[in-house]
Amino acid sequence: MYFVDRSIAVIKPKKPFLEWLNSLPENEVTLSLDDIRSDCTVLMIPEVNEQEDGIAYIDDMADKVFEMELASWAQDSKLWPKSRNLKTFWDWFDVEIHTVLMDSVDQDIHNSPTTDHGLH
């Protein structure tokens, strides 16, 4: 096991995100909050010692995270909510900050840019 010099943020959709998701025209299945919170996006963030520092980091990139989450369900940005400010982000998502990240795999991590947002 290896300590990684990062912390993590788990992005968990809340009810307003679910309502938007279930209102999408191409959505054929009605999802529940449990459905969309069971396998959430996890972001590696700079190493933090305090939860508040991780939250501040997410505040600074909330617009990117918001768009990434929306795009992972609907590629067409015309379907996205018009208001995507910081308050709306926090109304739509819970964020868990975890300060310790361990790597249990004895291989290098390979990074690639997130050009394809079709995650779900």
Decide if pLDDT at 86 tops 80: yes
Across 91-106, average pLDDT: 92
Q: What is the pLDDT of residues 12-23, one digit of tens each?
A: 999 999 999 999
Burial class (CB in 10 A: 0-12, 13-18, 19+), 62: buried
Q: Where are the domains of the chain?
A: 2-103
Across 60-68, average pLDDT: 96
- Cβ-contact 13, 93 below 8 angstroms: yes
Percent of the chain residues topping a pLDDT of 90: 72
